[in-house]
Amino acid sequence: MPKIHPFFILMLLLTLVTPTVAPAQGQSPDERARATEQQMTDDERFSLIISLVGGVPSIGVPRDKRIPEDVNNMSAGYTPGVPRLGIPALQSSDASMGVTNPGYRPDDKGATAFPASIAVGSSFNPTLARDGGAAIGREARIRGFNIMLAGGINLARDPRNGRNFEYYSEDPYLSAVLGAEAVNGIQGEGVISTLKHYSLNCNETNRHWLDAIIDSAAHRESDLLAFQIAIERSQPGSIMSGYNKVNGEYASGNSYLLNDVLKGAWAYKGYVMSDWGAVPEWDYALKGLDQESGIQMDVKQWGSEAFTDRLRAAYAEGKLPKERLSEMVRRILRSVYAVGVDKWGPPPTVDMAKHNEIALETARQGIVLLKNDGVLPLVTDRPLKIAVIGGYAQLGVPSGTGSGAVLPVGGFASVVKIGGPGTMGALRNLFLFPSSPLAELKKLLPKSTIDFDPGQSPAEAALLAKRSDVVIAFGIRVEGEGFDSADLSLPWGQDPVIDVVATANPNTIVVLETGNPVSMPWRNKVKAIVQAWYPGQAGGQAIAEVLTGSVNPSGRLPITFPGTLAQTPRPKLPGLGTPWGTPTTIRYNEGAEVGYRWFAQKGIQPVFAFGHGLSYTTFSYVDLKVTGGDTITATFTVTNTGKRAGADVPQVYFTDAAGVKRMRLLGFERVALEPGESKSVRVIADPRLLARFDVKAGQWRIAGGAYKVVLAKSADAPVLTAEAQMQSRLFGN
Ligand code: BGC
C-alpha cells in the first residue's frame, strides 16, 4: 500500500466533514443561515461579530493588522469572510448622501454627492429617495462595499441638532416612508442597508454621555414608530444602534429596545450593529447587540474592545450562552442571504451622468420657496443688474460635515478647516461642492450683469446692493456630526450683512444653505426666501433654475421653522457649552408631540410651518371625502389653477381625536400637474397614526368617536375639513 502523506489524509477528512458551500435549492435565508452557522468554528463565529475601521493614510491613522493586506478598498468597516463557507467579507461604508471617503482610499476618484437627506425630506417624494438609494447602492457595489450605513431616520426634534441634515424630517410617517425607499433602493442593488441611529440620537451634544429620557408610549408613537414602519416597508439588513442612552441604558445595550421591541414585538430578523465607539461592555451581546462596529473606536472611547477578548472570556466562562453567539451569527448571515450579498454577479454599470441627474432632480425638488413677494422668478426677458452676495456662491454650495460628507468626483471646490473642541472638532470643515450658484446664474441669465460680493462686511456688501436691481444674498451654516448649534442665527456675521443689504435694496432675495431652520431676523425686510438646504453636487444649478423659473419650486418643509427657541420644547439645550464628555440628561418631555404636533398642541404659530412651500403656480382642492371605521381614508381632487406646470404636496392630517386635541400627518402625495390639470388622490392612513400606544397591553389603541380631518397646504394652512367616525379597537404590537 502506498504511503499517504498525512496532509492529504487531513484534506480528505476535511472534505468529508466540510459540506459543500453551494446552498441547497429553495432554502430560505433563515434556513441557509442556520445551516451555515452550524458549520462554523467558534473562531469564525467571533470573527463575524465585529468590524474593523480602515486605515486613513492622509492623517496617519494606521491600518489594523487584522485587515488582510490584499484588501485595498478601506472604509468604515471590515469583517473578514469565511471563504470555505462562501461567506463574503463584509465591507461597510457611509452612506445616506453618497459613498463617502474621508481619506480611506487615496485613489478613489470620488462619488456622486447627493443632497442632504433633509432635502429628500422636502421633496416628499419616495421615488426620488429610492432612485438616490439605488444610485448609492451601485456606487457602493463597484467599490466592493456590501453594506451601506445609510437610512438615518432619527426625528428632527430640535432645530439645533447638528445631524438633522442627515435625517428626513420631524414626522415619523414621512421619515419612515422616505427612509424605507432609500433602503429599498440600496438593497435592490444587492447591498445591505442599515436604518440608524436606533433610537433617540436626536442631539449631538455629549452624545456618548447623553441620556435621552422619554415616556415609553410616546416613544412608540414617534421615533420608534418611524423605525417600525420603515422596517416593515424595507426589511433593512441591519439596524445601527445609537450612541446615547435611552431611559438610562445605552442604546447599544438596551435590552428593552433591542430584545423586547425590535426583535420581540416587531419580530425583526436582521442584525443590530453598534455605532462606531458605542460599546463599552461585552454584555451588550446579552442585551440584543449582534455586532460591534469599528472596534478600534471602542478602544479610543472606552479603553478596550468589547466583542473580542472580553466576549470570548465571557463565552469561556459560560456567561455568553452558545446559542446566543450562534444567533448573533445567524442574524448576520440571514441578512447576507436575504439581500443577496453572497450572490454578486459582475459589477453594475454606473452611469455617473445619470447619477448626477438624480442628484440634480433631488436638489430641485428639495428646494423650498418659503416667501415670495412677487420678485421670483427673476425676469429673464430684460437685462438685470444682479448682486450675488456671500455664501461662497462664487465657488460652490456647502455640505454638512461629519461621517456622512461625500467627496465628490473631481474633489471639493474648497475645504475650510473650522475645527472646534472635542474629538469631532478636527473633522469639522466647510466643504464646498463645485457647483457655483453664481456661475449657474450667469449661464441662465446671459443678458444680465451679475456681480459678486463676498459678504464679509455689511458696508461693502451694501455698496454693491445699492447699485443693483436685485440682490441675491446667500446664508450658509456648517452643521454636522458632533456639534449642536448654539442658537438659530447664521454665523460669521451673515445676519447683519443680509439686514444691511435688504435696507440698501428692497428687492433682496435670500437663499439659505443650512441643515436646519434659522431665525431670519431680516425676514420681513426681504422679498423672497429660498431654503436650499445642503443641495449636493448639482445644487448650484438647481438653485439658479428655481430663481430663474425654469424649475417651479415644489419642496415642502419637513421640519417646523420656529420664530425663537422659546417656542420649542427646550429653549435651553441640556449640556450645551459643557466640555465634551460631560454626562448630560435630555428630557424629551414633548414625547410624541414633535415639531408641528407640539406647535398645534400649544397653539403656537411658527414662522414657517411643517409642510409649507410656495410655488409659481396655484392649486385648488375640492371634493374631500373621508371614511372612518378601522382607519381613515381620504379622497379629494387637486387642480393646478395657475398658468405653469408645477407639483403640489397636499397633506392630510387629523387635528382632533374623539374630543382630544391632537395632530398627526396621516398621509400626503406629491402631485405633478400641467396648468388646468386635475388629479384625484386617495390617502389611506396607517391606523397606528390614529392610535395611542397602550404600554400595558403592548398594543395600539384607537379611541372610538369623531375625528376631525383636514386637507391642508401645510400644518397651519387647512383648506378643507371633514369628520370621520372611528371604531374603538386594540390592535397590532
Ligand atoms: C456615525 C455613524 C456612521 C459611523 C461610521 C459614526 O460616527 O455616527 O452614522 O455610520 O460613524 O462612519
> Which tens digits make up the pLDDT trace of 149-166?
999 999 999 999 999 999
Active site residue 453: no
Mean of pLDDT values over 543-556 = 98
Measuring from each residue's beta carbon to the nearest atom of ligand 1, which residues come in under 6 Å? 76, 94-95, 149, 196, 275-276, 403
- Beta-carbon contacts of 590 under 8 Å, excluding residues fewer than 6 positions away, are 157, 569, 597, 598
Buried b (16+ CB within 10 A) or exposed e, 444-479: bbeebebebbebeebeebbebbeebbbbbbbbbbbb
CA distance 589 to 108: 45
Q: What spacing in Å lies between the alpha carbon of 196 and ligand 1's midpoint?
A: 9
Q: What is the pLDDT of residue 22?
A: 56
Which of 275, 292, 401 most suits a substitution to test ligand 1, by most atoms within 8 Å of the C-beta? 275
Q: What spacing in Å lies between the alpha carbon of 119 and ligand 1's midpoint?
A: 20
Q: Measure Cα distances from 517 to 213, 512, 514, 563 in Å.
A: 24, 9, 7, 9
Q: For ligand 1, atom 6, name the residue with the nearest CA.
A: 276
Q: What is the pLDDT of residue 16?
A: 38
DSSP 497: H
Q: What spacing in Å lies between the alpha carbon of 214 and ligand 1's midpoint?
A: 24
pLDDT in tens, 620-665: 999 999 999 999 999 999 999 999 999 999 999 999 999 999 999 9
Closest ligand 1 atom to Cα of 197: 9
pLDDT, the chain, mean: 96
Closest ligand 1 atom to Cα of 294: 5
pLDDT in tens, 350-378: 999 999 999 999 999 999 999 999 999 99
pLDDT tops 60 at residue 47: yes
Q: Regarding beta strands 584-587 and 210-213, do their DSSP bridges make them parallel or antiparallel, or are they unpaired?
A: parallel
Q: For ligand 1, atom 3, name the residue with the nearest CA.
A: 403
Which helix (H) or strand (E) segment holds residue 355: the answer is helix 352-366
Q: Can you give the pTM of this predicted structure?
A: 0.96
Mean of pLDDT values over 106-120 = 97
Query: Residue 465 phi/psi, 5° resolution?
Result: -55, -40
pLDDT tops 80 at residue 9: no
pLDDT in tens, 584-623: 999 999 999 999 999 999 999 999 999 999 999 999 999 9
pLDDT tops 80 at residue 148: yes
- E runs forming strands in 112-217: 147-148, 192-198, 210-213
Omega prior to 583 cis, within 30 of 0: no
Q: How many CA atoms lie within 13 A of 679 on its CB side?
A: 17
CA distance 67 to 53: 9
Mean of pLDDT values over 411-433 = 92
Which of 276, 401, 423 most suits a substitution to test ligand 1, by most atoms within 8 Å of the C-beta? 276
CA distance 184 to 230: 10
Mean of pLDDT values over 61-83 = 96
Q: What is the pLDDT of residue 14?
A: 38
Q: What spacing in Å lies between the alpha carbon of 404 and ligand 1's midpoint?
A: 8
Mean of pLDDT values over 193-204 = 98
Closest ligand 1 atom to Cα of 402: 7
Q: What spacing in Å lies between the alpha carbon of 546 and ligand 1's midpoint?
A: 33
pLDDT tops 90 at residue 24: no
Q: What spacing in Å lies between the alpha carbon of 276 and ligand 1's midpoint?
A: 6
Q: Measure Cα distances from 437 to 392, 433, 457, 613 in Å.
A: 9, 11, 20, 21
Which of 295, 403, 406, 580 most suits a substitution to test ligand 1, by most atoms within 8 Å of the C-beta? 403
Using 50, 70 and 90 to split pLDDT, how confident is the model at 59? confident
CA distance 132 to 127: 9
Q: For ligand 1, atom 10, name the residue with the nearest CA.
A: 149
Q: For ligand 1, atom 8, name the residue with the nearest CA.
A: 275
CA distance 363 to 544: 11
* Active-site residue identified among 94, 275, 298, 499: 275
Nearest to 639 by CA among 684, 683, 682, 672: 672
Q: For ligand 1, atom 2, name the residue with the nearest CA.
A: 275
